[in-house]
Structure 1
């Protein structure tokens, strides 16, 4: 397992209520939380843990209270939800049972990572009830979704989670909600520790208002007899108050527009094509 994140000092560790079983032989640590569960049960439910736990225990392996000890670089909250979903059948039931966004995301992240397919599928069904793929699903969403409770950071987390778990059908409505319900600054800087990558910022039409404003400025300049080919040079584009992701998209679009105008100049003035004009030039010179 990935152990790049150093574990906290032993004196800070606490046993997790409901997930510490004295008769079980495996101790797991996530952040400052400890979990004592059945090694065989975990190996049976998760192929990833099964492979890890099937390896012989080295003589110098770290132990705690006489049990093999595993440190996981995952959040304690996610691991808590994940283990409870596996151990307690009533904790995370199928739709239409009530649950919460935190439980769904925690179970989905961990069941995807540790390949617990039944929980992954259950979490995806719950998540999909909030981010449907049909208009009817959208119209009836608040009735069908039993965990419906929006927080501003939820939309960004849903986008990130959809990418992480290959649940791309979540993205259209997640993007829609982010675009229509979050401020531009929130999408750029992130919320609740969740920040989109540049690709998804652009997909969210990030900076759309600013880009429209600058396009209107450009139209005003054009109507004021400023040459269209000279609207926005490299310095102008660099200084526009938009995010880097949008700027990187605007540059090639701006250049394509200049090239398109150039290509159409002969036709605008009812002249032969550039190819014919160049042939005339070559012949004349």
Structure 2
């Protein structure tokens, strides 16, 4: 593979605007290789890199090889300039740092040449900052950094699974903390926004649910302050989905056959050893959580032990909760007015 870019033509989504390169405020990034063969520019920043590196990881850039280059192509130090329209400096910097970091380059090489191998890490960090995740998803889609994009999508979907087993595996008790994305206040809302903008539709049901149980109702409208002083907010379409989901889930979790439907069962029907006592305990549980507005359709089945029901009711309630939790998970997309799980595809 050659670094010769002298005969390459740059198609959309990149364009050339010679006049834009006359602005004296253009800065050089620290990613500036003296032997680089092409200069990328996003907004007011330039990077000098090797076209062969870009082509190795991106089918978009690989497709430019051998295309004719017009004579008026702007250049810097003899290197043609490709203006990346619509891309942020942060996104380009994040992606190029990954491609050029010697400590992780072998990981990308592994992904490119052996795409069926997917080690359980990326960048040698177990958890990546959300900004890095977002950059690689956006540019991975736009320029088809195939292996990079695949691992990023896997990381997001791991944190927001499509199965109840996957959801339960990420919990410690009834609490959840992300393991592959660095946590911060506002992460839930930012994940929803990113997934919606990049067609990761299978992520939305779990992310919506987590947003409901991980924040207070007012946050759906007001947003959640991030650590840097900015506020993570939801667009109207996502606010609508969350509000529909909250109302639907609060009602459905008590329906017969769902997670807490057993609260309305007659103790005598299952051979209860203490009909009055178990009946009172079930009613007290129901009343307490209805009054509080508790939303917990996927709470741990082990919670039943704390109710101190009789030895006949306890296993019966646990079995019904197991079935009810699964039923509600299967219907989770519908509570947010989304298509069934089978129709929620990721198309990054």
Do they superpose with TM above 0.5? yes
- CA deviation string 1:68-121 (max 9, x = no partner): 111212111111121222333644855244232222221122111111111111
The structure 1 residue matched to 2:141, chosen from 112, 130, 142, is 112
Deviating more after overlay: 144-153 vs 106-115: 144-153
Deviating more after overlay: 35-44 vs 117-126: 35-44
TM-score (norm 1): 0.61
Any unmatched runs of 5+ in structure 2?
1-12, 108-118, 225-229, 251-348
Residues 15, 33 of structure 1: 8 Å contact kept: yes
Q: What are the equivalent positions in structure 2 for 1:157-176 lying under 5 Å apart?
A: 157-176=190-209
Residues 152, 182 of structure 1: 8 Å contact kept: no
Residues 61, 68 of structure 1: 8 Å contact kept: yes
Is residue 241 of structure 2 the alignment partner of residue 203 of structure 1?
yes
Greater relative contact order (Cα < 8 A, sep 6+): 2
Corresponding residue of 2:95: 82
Bigger radius of gyration, 1 or 2?
Answer: 1
Corresponding residue of 1:69: 81
The structure 2 residue matched to 1:31, chosen from 43, 56, 59, is 43
Deviation at 1:178, TM superposition (A): 2.2
Corresponding residue of 1:57: 69
Q: Secondary structure at the match of 2:179?
A: coil
Task: Measure, in 2, the Cα distance between the counterparts of 1:100 and 1:3.
Answer: 30
Name whichever structure is richer in helix by fraction: 1
Q: 1:69 to 1:8 in 2, by over 3 A?
A: closer
Task: Measure, in 2, the Cα distance between the counterparts of 1:28 and 1:156.
Answer: 32
Q: Which runs of 4+ in 1 moved over 6 A?
A: 206-209
Q: What are the equivalent positions in structure 2 for 1:175-254 lying under 5 Å apart?
A: 175-183=208-216, 186-188=219-221, 192=230, 196-205=234-243
Residues 184, 207 of structure 1: 8 Å contact kept: no
Q: 1:37 to 1:2 in 2, by over 3 A?
A: closer
The structure 1 residue matched to 2:132, chosen from 83, 100, 103, is 103
Corresponding residue of 2:25: 12
Any unmatched runs of 5+ in structure 1?
213-285
Task: Measure, in 1, the Cα distance between the counterparts of 2:171 and 2:131.
Answer: 18
Q: Secondary structure at the match of 1:176?
A: helix
Count of equivalent residues = 209
